[in-house]
Structure 1
Amino acid sequence: MKTRKILFAILGAGLLTAGLVYAADHADTPAITGKTTDITDVYAFQAQTSSNMVLVVNTQGLLTPAATASAVFDNNTMIEVNIDNNNDNVEDLVIQCVFNNGTMYVYGPIKPSMTGSKSVVEGAATASVAVTPYSATAPITATQNSLTVFAGPRDDPFFFDLDQFKKILAGTASSFNNPGNDSFKGTNVMSIVVELPKSMLGTTNGKVNIWAEAKRKI
């Protein structure tokens, strides 16, 4: 039987989190903003089980509750989490998330056969999970091959006082207020969450650089 490899090329902006645990970008170019390829946030943090790491990629920011009800992941888009474990800013491992027919398939972490702006789906899926619908009363998760995964809508965790930020830029304010105003309150994102053992990240010094990309099938 012949194995078919599908090529993906970068479309959404990559969000570098080198040395950090969080990065966000809620304002993109008109070509990307509001699209299913729009990455809003990348998170990386230690799980409740201290030997595990949680990786989160949020997409499709600023979804109203009405828009969330009809929001879906894109069949033609791969969300790729890149892991650099030797600090050369080149991905040594990737976790690839591909949506198809109501299910999110997760591949890796695995050494990629190509790096940079183009990718192919690597190997067989490590785990898969049904996408949680907006109407669900509880999130749907699945644990397979040491990975626990989730895909579906979530309340946007990003907190930012956009109005005050604009005032600071305009010179009419010098600092943020305490408490601030959450400009993104009441909006949602489409989220992909992967929890995995730290040992699968391939690092020898406990440090990794992590960034995510949205890549379109070509």
Structure 2
Amino acid sequence: MIKSKLFARISSVGLVILAIVLMSGDHNDAPTLTGTSADIADFYAFEAPDSDNLVLIMNLQGLIPAGAPTEFAEFDEHVLMEFNIDLNNDLKEDVLIQAIKRRDSMFFFGPFPTLETGLESTINTDIMHKVKISSKDDVHISEEDGMKFFAGPRDDSFFFDRIQFDMYMAGNANGGFTDPGIDTYAGKNTLSIVVELPKSMLGTPVANVNPFAPNTPTYNMWVETKRKIQ
């Protein structure tokens, strides 16, 4: 398997009070992955309007221009997408949610406990959910077993002033960053997969992980894409 990985950490309680949205951005991936159908752009995890639920979002194939390029962009049937959840802070996945495209639909699997870690993955077809892949103007959201699923093109919501950042790194940004800056990714799109689910379906995380909230049970989460090696 070849995989691309991003890391983030999310607390299981207290997110609404703290108004926290956790995300990781990776618009410049490794050379073997950049611009491919396995290239991860963003990972978002945040509490849903229903405080008992979490929303997980994986964006792929970033920087897709609007118009025809977005309309013709598609998920790769040979790429498996995974949300990994670590419950005991050993930085190894304990629970998985997987997704893979088949024809005009995205099939989601999980959440389910796993003993597999690292490069190897087995799709658990016992817990399967199906949603038709959306287009720009035809949005499909599937609701099953208290979960919600979406797959399709979305506006890239990651805000980053790349030009000012490059100038700053080169020592040429007089005054540092501007407020609010210029959104380098404005008008660009990604392919998104979204899962909303009850926290109770993920299992019980451990406390004493986050030094700023030691009594708060905390999940470690990351996303991966995996392509089968022939």
TM-score by length of 1: 0.91
- 209, 215, 228: which is aligned to 1:217? 228
RMSD of equivalent CA atoms: 1.4
The corresponding residue for 2:8 is 17
Greater shift, 81-90 or 114-123, is seen at 114-123
Greater shift, 199-208 or 22-31, is seen at 199-208
The corresponding residue for 1:162 is 162
Residues 36 and 60 in structure 1, CA contact (< 8 A), matched pair in contact too: yes
**Distance in 1 between residues matched to 2:108 and 2:2, nearest whole Å:** 18
Structure 1 residue runs without a partner (length 5+) = 1-8
SS of residue matched to 1:208? strand
Moved segments of 4+, more than 6 Å: none
The corresponding residue for 1:149 is 149
The corresponding residue for 1:5 is none
Structure 2 residue runs without a partner (length 5+) = 12-21, 207-216
**Distance in 2 between residues matched to 1:103 and 1:123, nearest whole Å:** 15
**Distance in 2 between residues matched to 1:79 and 1:163, nearest whole Å:** 31
Deviation at 1:202, TM superposition (A): 0.7
- Percent of residue pairs bearing the same amino acid type: 43
Deviation at 1:217, TM superposition (A): 2.3
Deviation at 1:31, TM superposition (A): 1.7
Greater shift, 168-177 or 119-128, is seen at 119-128
The corresponding residue for 1:88 is 90
Q: For 1:1-218, what aligned pairs fall within 5 Å after superposition? A: 9-11=1-3, 13-19=4-10, 21-65=22-66, 66-136=68-138, 139-173=139-173, 174-205=175-206, 206-218=217-229
**Distance in 2 between residues matched to 1:153 and 1:99, nearest whole Å:** 14
Greater shift, 17-26 or 65-74, is seen at 17-26
Residues 112 and 122 in structure 1, CA contact (< 8 A), matched pair in contact too: no
Change (3 A) 1:103 1:176: same
Residues 37 and 59 in structure 1, CA contact (< 8 A), matched pair in contact too: yes
TM-score by length of 2: 0.86
